[in-house]
Amino acid sequence: MTPDLLEQGAKRVEERMKALAAQAGQTASGGRTAGYSRMKQGDEVDTTHGRILYLENVNVSFDGFKAINNLSLDIAPGELRCIIGPNGAGKTTMMDIITGKTRPDSGTVFFGSTIDLLRYKEPEIAQLGIGRKFQKPTVFEQLSVFENLELALKTNKGVKASMFFKVDSAQGDRLADILHTIHLSDSLNRQAGNLSHGQKQWLEIGMLLMQDPKLLLLDEPVAGMTDEETERTAELFLTLKGKHSLMVVEHDMSFINTISDIVTVLCDGSVLAQGTLAQVQADERVIEVYLGR
């Protein structure tokens, strides 16, 4: 699709969203496209120390097996950090710990400099602004693209609030904005089940973006995608960088090469190496355990 068509598609969506909001008796937002950050008034994450995520000496054992072993790692606000490493290195387990799915046996996990994530449950961590994308797409196949995104806005609301929920003008603007970002402006009314694998992945990323996460954790986002979808996903991530902090786990080295600044190599539950992709690719230990000779 040409950028012109995308532009036109986004315009159409925007018109429709404004019409929807007008129907709902909302005031117009003045025509300005909403930034993601306008929408949510969650707890503020204190990043004055230059870190949005901070892990120190984290340990987890499963039946005596040390899946995470004295893991220390931190991420700067707006950073796009890539995580690579062999199967079983602990990459997914690390995300489980950050999102509250798995409790570590010991260690420190902070969101900004004041929020101790180990004191929160999984749904609370999502509400604090940490969004997670699992490998398999989990969109609602029977619903349209629009309805999936609309639903994402309701996710954190109670049952009653959800029943009377309507997309307001600012949310409509943001929805249009996100549709454009995830390349689905022309597929607003398509049933999600009919999208390609890559499009489903983008839709799910869009659903996460609707909740305006400060930190996004993405586990193998391009697995199973075509080369073209992978390229577009790289573009998408590069547009998200800066507005959000991202932690991306991937095995696809050409994808990592396109998007990465700093790459962290995990092995046996701790950091084996860290640096630019070129630096870690030249590291003998990384070649030994992961990249091969």
Ligand X SMILES: Nc1ncnc2c1ncn2[C@@H]1O[C@H](COP(=O)(O)OP(=O)(O)OP(=O)(O)O)[C@@H](O)[C@H]1O
* Sign of the CA dihedral with 37 first, then 125, 159, and 147 last: positive
Q: How many CB atoms lie within 10 A of CB 43?
A: 13
For CA atoms 258, 251, 95, 74, give the dihedral sign.
negative
E strands, 128-269, in order = 130-133, 215-219, 245-249, 263-267
Q: Work out what residue 67 binds among ligand X, Mg ion, none; the CB cut-off runs from 5 to 8 Å by kind.
A: ligand X
Q: How far is the CB of 94 from ligand X (least distance, A)?
A: 7
Least distance (Å) between residue 72 CB and ligand X: 17
| Beta carbons of 192 and 200 less than 8 angstroms apart | yes
Q: How far is the CB of 11 from ligand X (least distance, A)?
A: 40
In the complex, the smallest distance separating the C-beta of residue 96 from ligand X, rounded to whole angstroms, is 7
CB of 219 to ligand X, least distance (A): 7
30 vs 64 by CB, closer to ligand X: 64
* Cβ distance to Mg ion smaller for residue 102 or 144: 102
CB-based contact 148:210 (threshold 8 Å): no
Q: How far is CA 56 from the centre of its chain?
A: 22
Residue 92 in contact with Mg ion, rule: CB under 5 A: yes
Considering CB distances under 5 to 8 angstroms, the limit depending on partner class, which of Mg ion, ligand X, none binds residue 232?
A: none
150 token code pair: 């609309």
Query: Binds 93, which of ligand X, Mg ion, none (CB < 5 to 8 A, cut-off by type)?
Result: ligand X
- By the criterion CB under 6 A, which residues form the site for ligand X? 62, 67, 85, 87-93
Which residue number, 128 or 218, has a Cβ lying nearer to Mg ion?
Answer: 218
**Contact footprint for Mg ion (CB under 5 A):** 91-92
